[in-house]
């Protein structure tokens, strides 16, 4: 093109001809310099080495030319945008693009939800999946595509080998599109649960193994301003095309095993989070009307302490059939449960006192303390009796106000008073010794 700096096709052909001519000239020179025939280093090997070295130089020049063009285009793009685009910038652009692409009802939203009983109740806490900022900023919830539906059929999870828990409730399905550049480690995300003061709920984390089964791996009670952070290890599996390309060269048996293993991965890779509110479940277990414990903060805390710390069976605290029935006013039913809680607390306090008394007696039996000298009435006017524990083999009594004198001995390991030079002294029980005082 007129005014272009690129070489014309004819000039490129001349350069290629010159390259071929110089290569042929070098091969002719090598053929004359090296012997022919069946020598160790013949002219055939020399020409082959020269040709391969020439190909290596051509490839290096080609790579350098392509890298120069790519670097030139990259600099032009950075200059046009005004900054170097990082993964966080691209994620921000995708959020901007999604706001313009999707309708408001289907637009991606932040994965952050309040844990509440209903719209008329205050939140018990909050549940979110936060992504740590790559530039060291504040972590923010991830943006997901979500679909919500009511429970069409109940689900269950095993609490133990003989107990299954069935649950219902609303269900939310989320899809998260994560972006990363080549060489980037990817996003670091965590499941964060926060509870408000005097509030509590249970969080279970696991996998959804089927349409009716939830497989929990971890569970925790979040209460009273707790903040639970669980790091999530996100891994990717190959796409269907990548999987087909990877198993193409395998044997039929290996392909069958790889397909079966991939089927298992696809069925058990759906991450699930289950939130169970505690107050509604307590009301059902204790046979109380709905919303009975909403404002009973002290009673709720006492119940939580009895169930969690002391493992009290619910039958000992619930409203029995012989008490205020379902026709009784809610206040009477609540007071009946409060009486059960008070009685259980008194019994626990009494049991603690008995345990402390038993522990003190056991400690006194194994580690007896020295007794105090007692008043002796054998002599006129009384005196101090030195025979106060098993450590004294012989004792004497001194008149009141006088120091005893005489022969006193102390066994090894014992404790008590020892008269030295006419003055009684207290010896430690920890240092075994034996002494005789004249």
- Of 118-127, 245-254, 273-282, 408-417, least confident by mean pLDDT is 408-417
Residue 376: count of CB within 10 angstroms of its CB: 19
Quick check: 336 and 324 in contact, CB under 8 A?
Answer: yes
Four-point Cα dihedral 430, 436, 437, 438, nearest 10: 180
pTM reported for the whole predicted model: 0.66
Element (H, E) at 70: helix 43-81
- Asked whether the beta carbons of 396 and 402 are under 8 A apart, the reply is no
Beta bridge partners of 194: 126, 227
Per residue in 134-192, pLDDT tens? 666 788 899 999 988 887 889 999 988 888 999 988 899 999 888 878 777 777 899 99
Q: Mean pLDDT score of the chain, rounded to an integer?
A: 81
Contacts of residue 170, defined as CB under 8 A and 6 or more positions apart, other chains included, come to: 148, 149, 150, 151
Q: What is the pLDDT of residue 400?
A: 45
The angle subtended at Cα 178 by Cα 115 and Cα 149, nearest 5°, is 40
Query: Looking at the predicted structure, is the pLDDT value of residue 315 above 70?
Result: yes
Each residue's pLDDT tens digit, 228-279: 999 988 777 888 899 999 999 999 999 999 999 998 888 777 899 999 999 9
* Percent of the chain topping pLDDT 70: 80
Q: Is the dihedral of CA 110, 111, 115, 118 positive or negative?
A: positive
What's the rounded Cα separation, in Å, for the pair 24 and 42?
17
Q: Work out the widest C-alpha separation in the chain, in whole angstroms.
A: 142
Say if residues 77 and 69 touch (Cβ distance below 8 Å).
Answer: no
- With contact defined as beta carbons under 8 Å apart, do 127 and 203 qualify? yes
């Amino acid at each position: 093109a007129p005014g272009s700096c690129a070489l014309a096709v004819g000039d490129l052909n001349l350069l290629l001809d010159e390259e071929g001519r110089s290569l042929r000239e070098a091969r002719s020179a090598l053929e004359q310099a090296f012997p022919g025939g069946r020598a160790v280093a013949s002219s055939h090997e020399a020409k082959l080495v020269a040709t391969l070295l020439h190909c290596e130089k051509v490839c290096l020049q080609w790579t350098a030319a392509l890298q120069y063009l790519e670097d030139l285009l990259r600099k032009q793009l950075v200059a046009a945008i005004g900054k170097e685009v990082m993964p966080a910038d691209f994620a921000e652009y995708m959020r901007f693009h999604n706001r313009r692409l999707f309708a408001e009802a289907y637009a991606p939203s932040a994965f952050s939800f309040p844990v509440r009983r209903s719209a008329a109740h205050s939140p018990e806490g909050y549940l979110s999946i936060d992504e740590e900022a790559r530039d060291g900023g504040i972590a923010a919830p991830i943006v997901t595509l979500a679909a919500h539906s009511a429970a069409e059929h109940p689900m269950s999870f095993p609490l133990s080998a003989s107990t299954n828990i069935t649950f219902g409730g609303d269900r939310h399905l989320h899809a998260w599109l994560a972006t990363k550049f080549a060489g980037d480690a990817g996003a670091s995300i965590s499941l964060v649960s926060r509870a408000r003061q005097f509030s509590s709920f249970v969080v279970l984390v696991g996998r959804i193994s089927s349409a009716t089964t939830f497989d929990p791996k971890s569970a925790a009670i979040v209460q009273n301003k707790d903040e639970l952070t669980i790091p999530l290890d996100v891994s990717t599996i190959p796409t269907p095309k990548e999987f087909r390309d990877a198993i193409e060269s395998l044997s039929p048996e290996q392909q069958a095993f790889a397909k079966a293993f991939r089927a298992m991965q696809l069925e058990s890779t759906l991450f699930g989070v289950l939130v169970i509110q505690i107050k509604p479940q307590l009301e059902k277990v204790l046979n109380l009307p709905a919303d009975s414990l909403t404002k009973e903060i002290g009673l709720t805390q006492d119940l939580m302490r009895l169930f969690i710390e002391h493992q009290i069976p619910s039958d000992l605290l619930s409203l029995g059939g012989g008490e205020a029935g379902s026709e009784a006013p809610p206040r009477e039913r609540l007071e009946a449960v409060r009486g059960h809680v008070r009685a259980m607390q008194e019994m626990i306090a009494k049991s603690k006192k008995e345990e402390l008394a038993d522990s003190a007696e056991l400690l006194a039996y194994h580690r007896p303390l020295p007794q105090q000298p007692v008043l002796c009435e054998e002599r006129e006017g009384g005196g101090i009796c030195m025979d106060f524990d098993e450590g004294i083999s012989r004792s004497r009594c001194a008149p009141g106000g006088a120091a005893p004198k005489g022969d006193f001995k102390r066994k090894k390991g014992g404790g008590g008073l020892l008269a030295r030079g006419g003055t009684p002294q207290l010896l430690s029980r920890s240092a075994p010794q034996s002494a005789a005082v004249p």
